[in-house]
Chain A
């Protein structure tokens, strides 16, 4: 089967770009005699009685919002509170996929800007987030999938995202280790190649944002759980913590995996069901696989990390749960799916497994913006698409907090859409799990 572009020519797969991240700073540091260690985050201090902005959740999103508030809006009397530690929630549990090959115009525009910010993030921080532009390949095993990929490729190209349909021969060239054979149980008919697909060290994203925010006066308070949100006359006035009450000009919640629980403290009900998503990694191998590869049909996505482990992900549990236990059913399903694509992994040993709780919305789009409570802002419903949105979320949510108005990029994601029946049906939201 040969897939052809609009002009009838065979499409040539674009190669990922090479981004040279922060070479001079790193070189200078490498050549320095003393390897000076920097204090990245503010040392533990008492909570102040009042902050202009309290951000609940010190993950990538929370710290990115604080960073943008301090850097671009001059709002520095900000506290980021977390019940655990910096980047210890879903920022640590996601599988670090960065891409923008979504299906809806609203989604593509939003994630495209996020990928652009990611490309320059190491330079912006002066701190290496290990961004790697690897490319991402989504596999089609049916005619229906080819049709939907053609649709996605057209939407993506129209909006300035590098996506194209590729045929099995091109897939063999892009991923030589992938099993592309006609006698496979689910033969590969084609794929959606997304040259902008990338990965980065997820922890470093939160560390970089937190470092930049703390340098500008933001306070990071770890092990400081928000236990209640105080509201007066329909307006948020402060939060309770075990370390005392804190008055707040406004509050942002950025707590992926606990969105409904935290919102309930503010009396807000959300259109979310929380499901665990299970993933695992193999022992390290030499470099064998450059792009991300995912198959919505066999329900798996896989990529090789820069330290050699194969990350195998995508197993959503069949029922809602706030628990990160493993199940044999999901592990078996992920293993059999990955062997369908990469049979050489049959001898691989699993090194680690984990799960993260994903806040799934009915339309697979996030909930960002104003809430029914004045000065209480929502950054929720991040399901399985939160990590890739981190930079643009920081930028847009900070603008919302600073100006009180949602920037155009996020107005489609307001909570109101569920009352107005204007959902953003994002069928391109996850690479594998549904």
Chain B
């Protein structure tokens, strides 16, 4: 059984979670052209290796981010969006 550490609920069986796909910052819909918008909606880096992605703890509807290695199927870290933004800001 594989566990995922939910930032809100602690470690839970991974079957309690839904996978939400890669984290892409959303472009500004006022200034983005159709091509860039199509890329945001449909295209993915789909990297083999370390990725940042959305997950949701389904029973509590809590969305958060996870860093995961798609080659080894290891979850490296889970964090809330606020924690992620704080980390990005501190990295400059």
Taking beta carbons and an 8 Å cutoff, which residues of A are in contact with B? 258, 260-261, 264, 269-274, 318-323, 325, 327-329, 362, 418-419, 421
Q: Does A271 lie within 8 Å of B72, measured CB to CB?
A: no
Beyond A269-B39, A323-B70, whether A329 also contacts B15 by CB under 8 A is yes
Chain B residues with CB below 8 A from A362, complex form: 42
Q: Does B71 lie within 8 Å of A270, measured CB to CB?
A: no
Centre residue among B1, B72, B73 by max chain A CB count within 10 A: B73
Chain B residues with CB below 8 A from A271, complex form: 42-44
A389–B70 CA distance with the chains assembled, in angstroms: 28
What number of residue pairs across chains A and B have CB atoms under 8 A from each other? 57
Residue of B nearest to A275 (CB): B19
A312–B71 CA distance with the chains assembled, in angstroms: 25
B26-46 contacts to A, CB under 8 A, are 34-35, 38-39, 42-46
Known: A273-B21, A318-B15. 9 other contacts (CB 8 A): A269-B39, A270-B43, A273-B44, A274-B46, A320-B19, A321-B73, A323-B70, A323-B73, A325-B73
CB distance from B68 to the nearest CB of A (A): 8
Closest 10 CB pairs of A and B: A319-B19, A260-B46, A271-B42, A322-B48, A418-B42, A269-B43, A419-B38, A271-B43, A323-B73, A322-B70
Q: Does A419 lie within 8 Å of B45, measured CB to CB?
A: no
A264–B53 CA distance with the chains assembled, in angstroms: 19
A248–B33 CA distance with the chains assembled, in angstroms: 35
A319, A328, A418: the one contacting B38 at CB < 8 Å is A418
A321–B43 CA distance with the chains assembled, in angstroms: 16
One digit per residue, 1 when the CB lies within 8 angstroms of any chain A CB and 0 when it does not, for chain B 49-77 equals 00001000000000000000011110000
Residue of B nearest to A329 (CB): B15
A321–B70 CA distance with the chains assembled, in angstroms: 5
Q: Does A320 lie within 8 Å of B72, measured CB to CB?
A: no
CB distance from B48 to the nearest CB of A (A): 4
Chain A residues with CB below 8 A from B48, complex form: 258, 260-261, 322
Taking beta carbons and an 8 Å cutoff, which residues of B are in contact with A? 1-2, 15, 18-19, 21, 34-35, 38-39, 42-48, 53, 70-73
CB distance from A389 to the nearest CB of B (A): 21
Q: Does B43 lie within 8 Å of A418, measured CB to CB?
A: yes
B18, B38, B43, B53: the one contacting A421 at CB < 8 Å is B38
A-B pairs with beta carbons under 8 Å apart, 20 shown: A260-B44, A261-B47, A269-B45, A271-B43, A271-B44, A273-B46, A318-B19, A320-B19, A320-B46, A320-B53, A322-B71, A323-B71, A325-B73, A327-B2, A328-B1, A418-B38, A418-B42, A419-B35, A419-B38, A421-B38
Chain B residues with CB below 8 A from A327, complex form: 2
Chain B residues with CB below 8 A from A261, complex form: 46-48
A107–B31 CA distance with the chains assembled, in angstroms: 36
Chain A residues with CB below 8 A from B47, complex form: 260-261
CB distance from B82 to the nearest CB of A (A): 23
Chain A residues with CB below 8 A from B21, complex form: 273, 320
Chain A residues with CB below 8 A from B39, complex form: 269
A322–B51 CA distance with the chains assembled, in angstroms: 12
Chain A residues with CB below 8 A from B45, complex form: 260, 264, 269
Chain B residues with CB below 8 A from A318, complex form: 15, 18-19
A321–B53 CA distance with the chains assembled, in angstroms: 12
A36–B45 CA distance with the chains assembled, in angstroms: 50
Chain B residues with CB below 8 A from A319, complex form: 19
A269–B24 CA distance with the chains assembled, in angstroms: 14
A383–B61 CA distance with the chains assembled, in angstroms: 29
A127–B35 CA distance with the chains assembled, in angstroms: 47
Q: Does B73 lie within 8 Å of A270, measured CB to CB?
A: no
A374–B33 CA distance with the chains assembled, in angstroms: 24
A322–B71 CA distance with the chains assembled, in angstroms: 5
A270, A328, A329, A419: the one contacting B46 at CB < 8 Å is A270
CB distance from A42 to the nearest CB of B (A): 31
A318–B19 CA distance with the chains assembled, in angstroms: 7
Centre residue among B42, B46, B72, B73 by max chain A CB count within 10 A: B46
Residue of A nearest to B66 (CB): A319
Residue of B nearest to A328 (CB): B1
